[in-house]
Amino acid sequence: MSKYRVQNPATGEIVETFEAATDEQIEQAISSADSVYREWREKSVYERAQVVKRVAEIFEERKDELARIIALEMGKSIAESIDEVEFARDIIEYYAVHGPSLITDYEIPSTIPGKAYIEHRPVGVLLGVMPWNFPYYQVARFAAPNLVLGNTILLKHADICARSSLTMQEIFEEAGVPVGGYQNVFASHDQIATIIADPRVQGVSLTGSERAGAIIGEQAGRHLKKCVLELGGIDPMVVLDADDVAAVAKEAWAFRVYNGGQVCNSNKRLIVMDDIYDEFVAELKKLAEGLVPGDQLDLADGAFVPLSTRTAAETVNAQVQKAVSEGATLEAGGVLADGPGAHFSPAVLTGVPRDSESYREEIFGPVATVYKVSSDEEALELANDCELGLGGSVFSTDEARAAKVASRLETGMTHVNTIAAEAAEMPFGGVKRSGFGREMGPVGIGEFANKRLYFVAK
């Protein structure tokens, strides 16, 4: 089986296969990206921003086609696929509109006679290694700011996102990025290492697993390359109290099963106060019961989408079974479909023991894991008892009470009375083993910038 392929996760059918890159093609891609960088960086930031703005327009024009491509590739519904295309469009447009002002030179006070400025200059060719769960959004938040800044892009996408990754290259070129300025590469792990080692490549951004992050981070460190790593999360959603428990449970469920639960910053640990816990779990069970496997290209009411691959579904199933064997209770759902399809019914899991291996594991699928606590301090201690630190949220009718707990979460993103504030202008990233660096918002464009001192003596 070809490594790069489009395989419908609902049926297991391989729709399309693609040739992996040769070493010669990888060399040509680096050489071309480097030579285009020397031309692209000389354009004004406004010229580059106009090209990137056109990318956003084409995403809008081709929205339905783009949505169908990823629905087939990785299994999300058409409605969620359209959401993603629109979010990617918004991020690209944000950097086209606001990027130039975010990287304007500014003067800093100087004790030496003369004028001192901080400039934001591009650094060169960058490699992006992107995951399958949000094929367009992940690329948008890496490529758009860096193209506006003046860098050029080599993009190694997930094996199952071959058609969408080729289509994105086509769109960037159609918009006016010079050929070579944004290139999809069907690279192997060894070829990724070769790219990172090449002196013409100045940085690498990876969104993926802790394991992948450790490998890429080690390679980047060995070759003294800047890297940004956006890794996993087991984000806490702390519910201290609620006027309408059913409404908060519904919000929790909707976010947890969104994209088949395959979201880095999903609310993977629901930490609920004991006096509302039983009602909260009962509401989740109601939402989980009676769902049937569906076709993501034409999803019926009451149906759920497949996970990205059969292997992914089997992994989630094994994790749930392991948690049960360690003492957890599967309250609802959690059924792995027979046959080649990747359907795993959305599940509710309670009572995962704190001393079990399962407690420490991220479940990258539609499993709402609920914990009972009896005080704000206990909720906070449980929330922070985690090696990962991507996002987190705290819910309460008393905003000050929620804010007090939220302010002490060891995360890169913290929220009160919403699970995740997500928009083009909101920075995204984590602490601890969730990685380092930020994407999106005003800070995302600075990660691969040469913040150069420019001094003119008097």
- Here the tokens at position 298 are 């034409």
CA–CA distances in Å: residue 415 to residues 203, 371, 420, 426: 31, 19, 7, 12
What is the per-residue burial (b if ≥16 Cβ within 10 Å, else e) of 338-355? eeebbbbbbbbbbbbeee
Q: Rounded to the nearest 5°, which phi and psi values hold at 177?
A: -65, 125
- Which of 371, 357, 358 has the alpha carbon at shortest distance from 252? 371
Catalytic residue among 161, 264, 410, 439: 264
CA 458 to chain centre: 48
Q: Which amino acid is at 324?
A: V
Q: Is 73 a catalytic residue?
A: no
CA–CA distances in Å: residue 293 to residues 169, 252, 311, 338: 33, 21, 17, 11
Contact between 158 and 20 under an 8 Å Cβ cutoff? The reply is: no
- Which of 130, 364, 345, 343 has the alpha carbon at shortest distance from 263? 364
Query: What number of other Cβ atoms are within 10 A of residue 39's Cβ?
Result: 12
Q: Is 230 a catalytic residue?
A: yes
Q: Rounded to the nearest 5°, which phi and psi values hold at 317?
A: -60, -45
- Which of 379, 383, 367, 409 has the alpha carbon at shortest distance from 252? 367
Between vectors from CA 318 to CA 314 and to CA 324, what angle results, nearest 5°?
Answer: 145
Catalytic residue among 93, 230, 439, 447: 230
Question: What distance separates the 2 farthest-apart alpha carbons in the chain?
Answer: 77
- Which of 54, 68, 23 has the alpha carbon at shortest distance from 298? 68
- Here the tokens at position 86 are 């629109």
The catalytic residue positions are 230, 264
